[in-house]
Amino acid sequence: MSVNPLQKLMNPGSIAIVGAGNNPMKMGTMHALSILKNGYQGKLYCVHPKEETVLGTRAYKTVADIPEVPDLAFIVVPSSHLPSLMEDFGKKGTRHAVVITAGFKETGADGRQQEELLNSIADKYGIRFIGPNCMGIINSQISLNTTVARLETSPGLLGLASQSGTYVTQVLPYLKERGIRFSKAISVGNEANINIIDALEYLGDDEDTRAISLYIEGIRDVRRFLDVARKITPRKPVLAQYIGGTEAGARAGMSHTGALAGPDHLYEGLFRQAGIIRVHSVEDLYGLGWALATQPRLKGNRVGIITNSGGPGSTVANTCELGGMTIPRFSDELQARLKPLIPPHAPAGNPVDLTFNLEMNIITEKIPRAIMESGEVDGIVLHGAMSSGFVKAIYLHIKELAGNAPLDLLLKTMGPKSFDYALLPRDLGVPMTVSSWFQDRDDYTEGYQLNDVPTYDSPEKAARAMVSLYQYKKISERAPYDPAALPRVNSEAASIIEEARRRGQKALDEYSAKRLLSLYGIPVCAERLAASADEARAAAESLGYPVAVKVCDHSIMHKTEGGMVFLNVGDAEGVARAFSSIREKAGRDVSVLVSSMVSGQREFLAGIVRQKGFAPCVVFGLGGILTEALNDTAFRVAPLTLSEAGEMLDDLRTRKVLGEFRKMPPVNRDKTAGLLQRLSFIPLLHPEIAEIDMNPIMYRGADPVVVDALIVLEQ
């Protein structure tokens, strides 16, 4: 088993930095200052061709002059100097590097060539490196910060891998204000050598990391990403923000790190399949990630709400319920225990609303403890813990009444006497999220943050954090991944494709497409090909009326728009008329397909899509004439397990239609999932297939039947 290159890279005993000097406004100097000033205990060697000392340490004119083999090379120099420096470190014996320098494939063809040269030199010496075009790494456990910003916090529990350097470095003051602390953070840059999948795998195995956040502009190896994530998410939460799904986002990502983006719906399906919680803001990437990293695992979906105001309590209740959680009414026994603690008019049924009560030990300790100990909730959202922050806000109003006491003196008489209130989630095993308008300006909020209770600046955010715990609960309870074995290539199916390609066809005709699908166990409607009106009538008699009569020609893909589809044809004369009309509109002697009619009100679609740079994907959704209007589809990367296929059904907004609906029986979920799984095998067995479109799929009773199908071939 190969060792992840980040194991050594993230834990160097010595670092050699090239590009640092004595000018504090130069990037290389900023990186070196972070290493020196943030408490790193290893050795730092500065390489500088002119300076005798750099930042008070001896400088070495060349890499060869360094008195030992550095564990890590850290390079911040113009791109033209990089190849020779990589050679120097290779000859020295250094096998890991961080390359900050930009100007490679994100700039175009010339930059791509330079990046390939860099990789070839690294391969020559067995060097594994992060970058180029990145902002460094953080390992808080060994006080290693190689970014340009100061890291002022103790070791944390949230791991981050990012294709943006800013989200590893400039964000550090922002995170400090919110009490969020990294365990490890990795800026992967252009991913020329070590990529975000390597980082995900490393953080998944890292014992100091309890949750992982990913900032993604594009994934180059979708299948490996899925394989790695599947192993991690059952035991450790992973969140991701993806920004390449729009044209503007994809264009920005390409110019930023050279990332190859893909359509948003494919990434949405990939994340769901991998068990990754998707977020849509970097604020949630950190904020929800911190809740998942710090709080006990949620055991159910019941939420208790404690507030000092009705509005925030209602907001929390609404957000949690929209997220699938419940806000149960507390039992009479629990309410009896709570009522002596709150004003007579205050509700105790859940939410518990103290209505602006400044007795903080009640709202922060006594009430939460009573609710947690009752066993009636699985998590708590609290709003309104405040002391010093509120006094600071109203000081000018109360200054005279307080005898003109200085603010600092007044604050000394307030605030919590201990952190017991902040230890309740850990001690009682019940997760809690907190919202406060004052954030780190308040001593109670500070106490929560120091003890790893996540705090937010609005009730909605605290509620969303609780919902994220519930999302992960469902992910962790999914059936274990059990990969399905691919069947053998069906020789008759291969012959159908080979013959079509020999004829120069861009697609299979409908009859051949359905024949291929049926060879892999996908149910299709009964049908016959006809080359004459007599054959069409005979086919209809054999199948039984009513029938559908359609043109069957690989070059005519829009049959309905061309008026070459006749449905519910009820007699031989009607079949003959339909046959003649199709031939007339086609303008030549095309084949005609006679099919048994499948009646039903529910129409769905399924298919295979291929996107450049992405693995083949299965799509399932609402079909028929409403396909484009409602755009209700789910996607997964092929091949599927039966469990993953079943989850696609539940992803649809219109999933109620799959149940008992308007006197129709519920669809057979097992057979529908089986159809999707068998479909998912086909593009892997036949890479010559570019696209499969089965629309509509109708239900004969409860069982799915493919009524129409198109298979497009790779050109």
Q: Whole-angstrom Cα distance, residue 702 to residue 669?
A: 9
- Report the pLDDT averaged over residues 480-497: 95
539 and 611 share one domain: no
225 and 277 share one domain: yes
149 and 120 share one domain: yes
Give the model's pLDDT for residue 625: 66
Give the model's pLDDT for residue 318: 97
445 and 498 share one domain: no
Whether the predicted pLDDT of 630 surpasses 80: no
Give the model's pLDDT for residue 252: 41
Predicted confidence band of residue 166 (pLDDT cuts 50, 70, 90): very high
- Has residue 549 been placed in a domain? yes
Give the model's pLDDT for residue 245: 56
Give the model's pLDDT for residue 355: 82
Local structure of residue 356 (DSSP, 8 states): S
- Tell me the angle at which helices 572-586 and 533-543 cross, rounded to the nearest 10 degrees: 130
- Report the pLDDT averaged over residues 30-55: 95
Q: Cα 619–623–625 angle (5° rounding)? A: 140
Q: Which of 150-154, 573-577, 677-681 has the lowest mean pLDDT?
A: 150-154
Give the model's pLDDT for residue 102: 83
Q: Which of 53-67, 157-171, 622-636, 638-652 has the lowest mean pLDDT?
A: 622-636
Helix (H) or strand (E) holding 14: strand 14-18
Which pair of tokens denotes residue 312? 């925030």
Supply the pTM of this predicted model. 0.92
Q: Whole-angstrom Cα distance, residue 490 to residue 686?
A: 10
Whether the predicted pLDDT of 246 surpasses 70: no
426 and 555 share one domain: no
Which pair of tokens denotes residue 714? 């790779």
Percent of the chain past pLDDT 70, that is, above it, reads 96
Say if CB 697 and CB 704 are below 8 A apart: yes
514 and 372 share one domain: no
Q: Whole-angstrom Cα distance, residue 632 to residue 651?
A: 9
Give the model's pLDDT for residue 179: 95
Question: Nearest to residue 660, comparing CAs of 702, 704, 620, 624?
Answer: 702
Whether the predicted pLDDT of 436 surpasses 50: yes
Summarised one tens digit per residue, pLDDT across range 294-320 is: 999 999 999 999 999 899 999 999 999
Strand order in the sheet with 547-552: 527-530, 591-596, 547-552, 565-569
Summarised one tens digit per residue, pLDDT across range 514-565 is: 999 999 999 999 999 999 999 999 999 999 999 999 999 999 888 888 899 9
Q: Which of 79-83, 243-247, 270-274, 281-285 has the lowest mean pLDDT?
A: 243-247
Last residue of a domain, one of 276, 292, 308: 292
- Report the pLDDT averaged over residues 610-628: 86
- Has residue 688 been placed in a domain? yes
Predicted confidence band of residue 659 (pLDDT cuts 50, 70, 90): confident
Say if CB 292 and CB 239 are below 8 A apart: yes
- Has residue 95 been placed in a domain? yes
Q: Whole-angstrom Cα distance, residue 566 to residue 560?
A: 9
Whether the predicted pLDDT of 263 surpasses 60: yes
Give the model's pLDDT for residue 640: 97
Give the model's pLDDT for residue 333: 97
Q: pLDDT averaged over the chain?
A: 92
698 and 578 share one domain: no
Local structure of residue 506 (DSSP, 8 states): S
Whether the predicted pLDDT of 646 surpasses 70: yes
Predicted confidence band of residue 284 (pLDDT cuts 50, 70, 90): very high
Give the model's pLDDT for residue 257: 42
164 and 231 share one domain: yes
379 and 470 share one domain: yes
Could you tell me which residues come within 8 angstroms of residue 276 by beta carbon, excluding any fewer than 6 positions away? 214, 229, 233, 238, 239, 240, 270
Rank 93-107, 249-263, 345-359, 566-580 by mean pLDDT and report only the highest: 566-580
Give the model's pLDDT for residue 258: 45
Rank 245-249, 397-401, 433-437 by mean pLDDT and report only the highest: 433-437
Residue 196's CATH number = 3.40.50.261
Give the model's pLDDT for residue 579: 96
Burial class (CB in 10 A: 0-12, 13-18, 19+), 319: buried
Give the model's pLDDT for residue 268: 96
Last residue of a domain, one of 558, 581, 597: 597
Predicted confidence band of residue 247 (pLDDT cuts 50, 70, 90): low
What 3-state class would DSSP assign to 683?
A: helix
Give the model's pLDDT for residue 328: 98
Summarised one tens digit per residue, pLDDT across range 334-372 is: 999 999 999 888 899 999 998 877 788 999 999 999 999
331 and 239 share one domain: no
Last residue of a domain, one of 249, 277, 292: 292
Predicted confidence band of residue 251 (pLDDT cuts 50, 70, 90): very low
Whether the predicted pLDDT of 595 surpasses 70: yes
- Has residue 388 been placed in a domain? yes
Torsion angle of alpha carbons 514, 515, 518, 522, nearest 10°? -10
Residue 534's CATH number = 3.30.1490.20
- Has residue 1 been placed in a domain? no
Q: Whole-angstrom Cα distance, residue 711 to residue 715?
A: 13
Whether the predicted pLDDT of 224 surpasses 60: yes
Say if CB 65 and CB 59 are below 8 A apart: no
Whether the predicted pLDDT of 325 surpasses 60: yes
Give the model's pLDDT for residue 626: 62
- Has residue 318 been placed in a domain? yes
Question: Nearest to residue 512, comparing CAs of 715, 709, 714, 713?
Answer: 709
Say if CB 692 and CB 680 are below 8 A apart: no
- Has residue 420 been placed in a domain? yes
Question: Nearest to residue 226, comparing CAs of 259, 194, 274, 263?
Answer: 274
511 and 539 share one domain: no
Predicted confidence band of residue 256 (pLDDT cuts 50, 70, 90): very low
681 and 569 share one domain: no
* Structural domain of 188: 6-292
Percent of the chain past pLDDT 90, that is, above it, reads 80
Residue in this structure with the two tokens 């008759």, named with its chain if needed: 492
Residue 293 backbone phi and psi in degrees, to 5:
-80, -30
Give the model's pLDDT for residue 250: 45
More confident call, 558 vs 415: 558
Q: What is the tally of structural domains in the chain?
A: 4
Whether the predicted pLDDT of 384 surpasses 50: yes
Please provide the DSSP assignment of 616-661 as one string.
-EEEEEE-GGGHHHH--EEEEESSPPHHHHHHHHHH-TTGGGGSSB
Rank 111-115, 173-177, 271-275, 412-416 by mean pLDDT and report only the highest: 271-275
